[in-house]
Amino acid sequence: MKIDPWSSAQFQDYARLRDEFGIESFEPYESKLPKPGRIFRRGVVFGHRGFERVFEAIEKNEKFAVMTGFVPSGPMHLGHKMVIDQVNYFTSLGADAYIGVADIEALGARGISLKRAEEIALEYYITNYIALGLDSKKCQIYFQSKRKPVLDLAYTSAHETNWNEMRSIYGFEDSTNMCKIFSPLVQVADILHPQLEKYGGPKPVVVPVGVDQDPHIRLTRNIAFSHRFFNVTVAKDGRPGVFVKTDYLVEELLKEVEKVAREMGFKKLKNIPSYKALYIDDAKGEDLPKLDERLVEVERKYGGYGFILPAATYHRFMTGLTGEKMSSSKPETAIFLTDNPKEARKKVMASKTGGGVSVEEQRRLGGKPEICSVYELYVYHFVDSDEELSEIYSKCKGGKMLCGECKQYAASLVEKFLVEFAQKREEAKKRIDEFVKYD
């Protein structure tokens, strides 16, 4: 199995995906996070990579950031809202937020001009995002093509990978245009740039995404590590140590490492420049991450980036209202944030549910909320109270509530949301300048 970030394949078996790609389960954090929002409590966010470092920052009240990006094309639907819900949650916990308009990707992958991408971004996405409650004190929105540090970082990151890796991750062909081929490196730079000096230096960063973006996340983590000067690890012979990856300044760097290791209280040190190694025989595996992070400072002093590996959270995709995949190109499958509220009501009323074939059957056997697109609306977006949700669940299961009544309720929630949202959009339009930062 291979994940193609530009295809429209739908994923079903999330547990299998997790195992196959080495994504960790998010479950341990569901109860540990402070005031977790709906999608964290309900298993919608099902997996992560490297979230432990972000969680540590949350616990210790250290600075961290949340970063995401979007390709400006087509209208935004409820599925897109999930990412912004996460951005808002992490900013409420103290994160700075970075949102990139992926205009280079729009050009490379979809042939949308930079000018057109800017128009779409301003008219729909940015307005919607602001209306969804972004905090202007914490959040900046930028364009890939206009932020020089991102473009520079895309180039230096290109040095840390090669054609073989790129082709095996993305399956590029001889005829693939070079802008598309280069666009993952711009995304790598999107994700890493909050750690540049200019944006406050190294820090944990979390990227909320759907699993389709996992290839980009893996590439980014590989490249972040490849930029590092040091490999802090247990060597094949079982000895913990720090191994210098650069070909220059090896002796100086090892001396600096030795100093840090002594400060941290290690005593059994063997500095062997010809192996480019400092062995630390009294270190244990669990000491290494701390040491690694101390060495970020050394690395920066010598002109390195000192990136901390970015983390990602993975969310499930909503099913379409018709039971097929939710898609911007099929209006009947999705509720768009700019839908006319009355039209949206009709879509909900026409949607596919988990109800029985007849009223009689549904009263007798109950409905199946786990496969119902209406129930999904409640879970992901419209019923915040867990008690109310479980009440709906048991009424459905017990055949006490029929789909007609249930859809009426969902439709009224959707309609109310959209009426209010239209209002918020009008206010958001006046505030765009508070958020968009070109450099």
Task: Give the interface with ligand SF4 as residue ranges (CB under 6 A).
Answer: 353-355, 367-369, 372, 374-375, 396, 401, 403, 406-407
- For 209, counting Cβ atoms within 10 Å of its Cβ (0-12 exposed, 13-18 middle, 19+ buried), the class is buried
Q: What's at 207, amino acid-wise?
A: V
Question: Residue 366 and residue 355: Cα distance in Å, rounded?
Answer: 7
Q: What are phi and psi of 2, to 5 degrees?
A: -140, 140
Rg (CA), the chain: 24
Question: Residue 253 and residue 385: Cα distance in Å, rounded?
Answer: 55
Q: Which residues pair with 338 in a beta bridge?
A: none
Q: Which of 37, 47, 69, 356 binds ligand TRP (CB under 6 A)?
A: 69
Question: Residue 105 and residue 89: Cα distance in Å, rounded?
Answer: 27
Q: What residue 369 binds from ligand SF4, ligand TRP, none (CB within 5 to 8 A, per partner kind)? A: ligand SF4
Q: Judging by DSSP bridges, how do beta strands 45-49 and 24-25 pair with one another? A: antiparallel
Q: Binding to ligand TRP by residue 70, rule CB under 6 A?
A: yes
Residue 194 to residues 149, 188, 220, 393, 419, Cα–Cα distance (Å): 10, 11, 13, 42, 36
Question: Residue 439 and residue 432: Cα distance in Å, rounded?
Answer: 15
Cβ distance to ligand TRP smaller for residue 144 or 362: 144
Cβ distance to ligand TRP smaller for residue 211 or 296: 211
From the CB of 220, what's the least distance to ligand TRP, in Å?
Answer: 9
* CB closest to ligand TRP, residue no: 69
Q: What is the DSSP string of 102-132?
A: -HHHHHHHH---HHHHHHHIIIIIIHHHHHT
Q: What residue 375 binds from ligand SF4, ligand TRP, none (CB within 5 to 8 A, per partner kind)? A: ligand SF4
What strands lie across the sheet with 269-272, from one edge to the other?
Answer: 230-234, 240-244, 277-280, 269-272
* 149 alpha-carbon distance from chain centroid: 21
**Element containing residue 191 per DSSP (H, E):** helix 178-192
From the CB of 7, what's the least distance to ligand TRP, in Å?
Answer: 11
Q: Binding to ligand TRP by residue 68, rule CB under 6 A?
A: yes
- From residue 202 to residue 241, the character string flagging contacts with ligand TRP as x (rule: CB under 6 A) and all else as - is -----x-x---x----------------------------
Q: Which of 66, 71, 253, 403 binds ligand TRP (CB under 6 A)?
A: 71
Q: Which of 67, 169, 206, 232 binds ligand TRP (CB under 6 A)?
A: 67
Judged by CB under 6 A, which stretch of 185-193, 337-345, 361-369, 404-412 contacts ligand TRP? 185-193
Q: Which residues pair with 140 in a beta bridge?
A: 98
Q: Which of 37, 72, 75, 100 binds ligand TRP (CB under 6 A)?
A: 100
Judged by CB under 6 A, which stretch of 13-21, 149-157, 186-194, 236-244 contacts ligand TRP? 186-194
* Site size with ligand TRP, rule: CB under 6 A: 15
Question: Residue 276 and residue 9: Cα distance in Å, rounded?
Answer: 46
Q: Binding to ligand TRP by residue 105, rule CB under 6 A?
A: yes
Judged by CB under 6 A, which stretch of 39-47, 64-72, 125-133, 341-349 contacts ligand TRP? 64-72
Q: What residue 401 binds from ligand SF4, ligand TRP, none (CB within 5 to 8 A, per partner kind)? A: ligand SF4
Q: What residue 354 binds from ligand SF4, ligand TRP, none (CB within 5 to 8 A, per partner kind)? A: ligand SF4
From the CB of 64, what's the least distance to ligand TRP, in Å?
Answer: 15
Cβ distance to ligand TRP smaller for residue 220 or 362: 220
Q: Which residues pair with 270 in a beta bridge?
A: 279
Q: What's at 8, amino acid-wise?
A: S
- Look up residue 257 and give its two tokens: 């490492």
Cβ distance to ligand TRP smaller for residue 94 or 210: 210
Does residue 63 contact residue 203 with C-beta atoms inside 8 Å?
A: yes
Q: Binding to ligand TRP by residue 187, rule CB under 6 A?
A: yes
Residues that bind ligand TRP (CB under 6 A): 5, 67-71, 100, 102, 105, 187, 190-191, 207, 209, 213
